[in-house]
Structure 1
């Protein structure tokens, strides 16, 4: 099987998906302008998608109550410090900034709605990148 998408039911899908598009560089593949405001966004490889929606039939989580190690979206970053500063300017908050013994640089942030984002620059990349 191939991974297609990961979905998050959030209180304000329109604002959240727009922030992800503008600040994480995700590209909209499909978007509903009416409830449940389902938006599918792809990463720059075009092979993985994140779905953001606001569906009252399902539970929305208060991500601020979760430790980032419980759930987070991890993104490859060539310059984690630069990306961290840019995202903080856009409303994210810093949780941790760690250099690991192997040389990996991992930064954990919360987006403006509390969803945890991890910026990863691995000493030994784990994904095949374009």
Structure 2
């Protein structure tokens, strides 16, 4: 009887953890998309078309602070659920690297489009 109760409890716990992981993954994807959409909006602003690549790089590092922080937090939460034995600092480093790559990609696209038409 105790074995059945323990097995049932383990199954319920496993299902709950899977649901938590799936929910955290959805939130992370939503956070990533919100951050990317914000960066894309900044990319298309008319005032930025005359910026140098260096100025745009500096700008991108500072825009979308709430979206950036939300993405960071949701990614760290997701990674913490998925890999609970990994140090939290490693998850934060991964999240910061993901943010840096997003910024690098948008800057690369900006620089690759060439000078603004005159």
TM bracket (short chain): under 0.3
**Bigger strand fraction:** 1
**Bigger helix fraction:** 2
Higher relative contact order (CA 8 A, sep 6+): 2
Structure 2 length as normaliser, TM-score? 0.28
Whichever of the two has the greater Rg, that structure is: 2
Structure 1 length as normaliser, TM-score? 0.26
